[in-house]
Amino acid sequence: MANKTDEEWRAVLSPEQFRVLRQKGTEPPGTGEYEKFKGKGVYHCAACNAPLYVSDTKFDSGCGWPAFFDAIPGAVNRHEDRSMFMTRTEITCANCGGHLGHVFKGEGFKTPTDERHCVNSVSLKFHDK
């Protein structure tokens, strides 16, 4: 796992990336650079550059954030999140622990996993295939 102090993370991340990735923030819906993006390639963690999602798993959910139906095996960890007066499943980068967003199950999307990984664009960095 990529262990850094907050000071070290602040030196390599923008203030918005730090707020989302290290402080578990959320970017406003509909504002992220990858929400409507259709490029073919791999989405990496914006903090540590670990590969997280392939573009073939991205779909348009209409939720206001990039949505994926599955992650690269072993790339994402899941944690119970009881903030905001509800229970959700937080997803984090398995390499550096950076907050990516949340995963939702059983929403009826016609995807192989019936999951929606709702990911903040600012947590991602896209690399062409």
d(CA 42, CA 124): 10
Annotated active-site residue 118? The verdict is yes
Q: Taking the CA atoms of 19, 96, 100 and 85 in sequence, report the sign of the dihedral they define.
A: negative
The single residue of 45, 48, 96, 118 carrying the catalytic annotation is: 118
Classify residue 47 as left (phi > 0), alpha (psi -120 to 50) or beta. alpha
Residue type, 39: G
**Which residues carry out catalysis?**
118
